[in-house]
Amino acid sequence: MNTKLNNERGFSNKEFEKRLIQAQKIMHNYQLDGILLTTPQNIRYFTGYDSQFWESPTRPWFVVVPLSGKPIAIVPEIGESEFQKTWLDEIKSWPSPRPEDEGITLLKSTLENIKKTFGQIGAEFGKEMTIRMPVRDLFKLKETVNINLVDGSDAIWDIRMIKTEEEIKRIKFICSIASDAYNSLPSKLAIGDTEREAVNKLKIDILNRGADSVPFMPGISGVGGVSQIVCGPTNRTLNDGDILFIDTGSTFDGYFCDFDRNFAFGKASSEVEKVYEVLWQATEIGINAAIPGATTFDIFNAMNKVISEVSIAGNNVGRLGHGLGLQLTEPPSHRDEDKTVIKENMVLTIEPGLEYAPGKMIVHEENIIINKDGAELITKRAPKEIPIIK
């Protein structure tokens, strides 16, 4: 384990300055005088503020990133002392909860004092985003503030899609922790375990190895494959002929891994063996297709060719991988309608899957970063043959 990294959290001011400079360049391209942020990951990206309190929906939090100068925080009083420790200079707060004016007057005056060059502020209005404040308050703000609030999602995703060296370090670290835990899991599993027990063994191992949290760990089983990959575990007992699918989004210092593994109980049918092998090969091909200059469609297409030879049914996931970082899933998507150009320092999942018979789906997944010359695998590759638990 990288114990040095394990004992550190957070980023230097220099890292935040670097992110801000890059963001302001992109904001300039999109003609935005600022961006308004309300969600945990966007706020953390620009300020470093980490809190467990996002679990409470009672209070909204706001950060405004102007076209020049440092971000400004407008936060409930409960968060003020901790925000004072960030690299920000300007932190405003109000006594919250106060639904009758939940920070809106303060936010409005902050936005009105932003220097107006283009006359518009980008907000989290678009794809793969939601805005974390009461919409009722957003409507009121939008109507009364003296600057246009527009969709800033393209700009925000442009900013976050290319990772810094420090971000990549953390994603690599959590991928390595989860890989080791997956690799030691077969020795802990046995026929007769429940899905829930299997998942808990992996979860506790990942925490013990130094992950900060395991917010995502579906575990699903079925004879020869699974019908879905997002709900569960249940108390279903793992029996001879079952496939157990486990996926995990575990985090370190805010950054996610996102990859899965499959285990056969008792035996694997020849069909399962074949599908597993095809997906292993499709993953290989997907990794090799992920080079700077290619598009997400190219990656999709390369994998889809291999998969289509076995099954035309595809699967219900709707894509064959996606971006990864402060969120479990981020743009872009490897799918037929997404033509995002692959660039250096993107972090992506390669996730081919297929439903070879009704209710029998198998999905593989690995994580990569894009280097100058192509993809670098940052998960420890799934075994070429499906592990069999006796």
- The contact mask relative to its own copies for 28-47 (x = CB under 8 A, - = no) is --------------------
CA 277 to each of CA 281, 313, 351, 390: distance values in angstroms, whole numbers, following the listed order: 6, 18, 14, 20
User: In angstroms, what is the minimal distance from the CB of 82 to its own copies?
Assistant: 5
123 beta partners: 36, 151
One of 14, 25, 98, 305 touching its own copies (CB under 8 A):
98
Instruction: Round to whole Å and give the CA distance between 282 and 300.
Output: 10
117 sits near its own copies (criterion: CB under 8 A): no
From the list 27-35, 136-144, 277-285, 342-350, the region that binds its own copies by CB under 8 A is 136-144
Of 269, 259, 227, nearest to 352 (Cα)? Answer: 259
Could you say which residues in the range 160-189 bind its own copies, by CB under 8 A? none
Closer CB to its own copies, 135 or 190, in the complex: 135
Sequence-ordered list of residues with C-beta below 8 angstroms from that of 109, at least 6 positions apart, any chain? none
User: In angstroms, what is the minimal distance from the CB of 267 to its own copies?
Assistant: 25
Instruction: Round to whole Å and give the CA distance between 264 and 269.
Output: 9
User: In angstroms, what is the minimal distance from the CB of 93 to its own copies?
Assistant: 9
Closer CB to its own copies, 113 or 316, in the complex: 316
Tokens of residue 62, six digits: 């706001």
Using CB under 8 A as the binding criterion, the count of chain residues that bind its own copies stands at: 73
From the list 62-70, 169-177, 216-224, 285-293, the region that binds its own copies by CB under 8 A is 216-224
Exposed (0-12), middle (13-18) or buried (19+): which is 191, by Cβ within 10 Å? Answer: middle
Instruction: Round to whole Å and give the CA distance between 186 and 283.
Output: 22
Could you say which residues in the range 286-315 bind its own copies, by CB under 8 A? none
One of 68, 97, 112, 115 touching its own copies (CB under 8 A):
97
One of 3, 4, 21, 100 touching its own copies (CB under 8 A):
100
User: Helices 270-289 and 296-310: crossing angle, nearest 10°?
Assistant: 160
β-strands 72-76, 90-94: how paired? parallel
Ramachandran assignment for 241, one of left (phi > 0), alpha (psi -120 to 50 degrees), beta (any other) = left
Of 345, 365, 150, 328, nearest to 249 (Cα)? Answer: 328
User: In angstroms, what is the minimal distance from the CB of 139 to its own copies?
Assistant: 8
Closer CB to its own copies, 13 or 130, in the complex: 130
Contact 287, 350 (CB under 8 A): yes
User: In angstroms, what is the minimal distance from the CB of 16 to its own copies?
Assistant: 17
User: In angstroms, what is the minimal distance from the CB of 272 to its own copies?
Assistant: 19
User: In angstroms, what is the minimal distance from the CB of 388 to its own copies?
Assistant: 26
Could you say which residues in the range 311-370 bind its own copies, by CB under 8 A? 316-319, 322, 327-329, 333, 335, 337, 359
Could you say which residues in the range 241-280 bind its own copies, by CB under 8 A? 249
Q: In what helix (H) or strand (E) does residue 155 lie, and over which residues does it extend? A: helix 153-161
User: In angstroms, what is the minimal distance from the CB of 383 to its own copies?
Assistant: 24
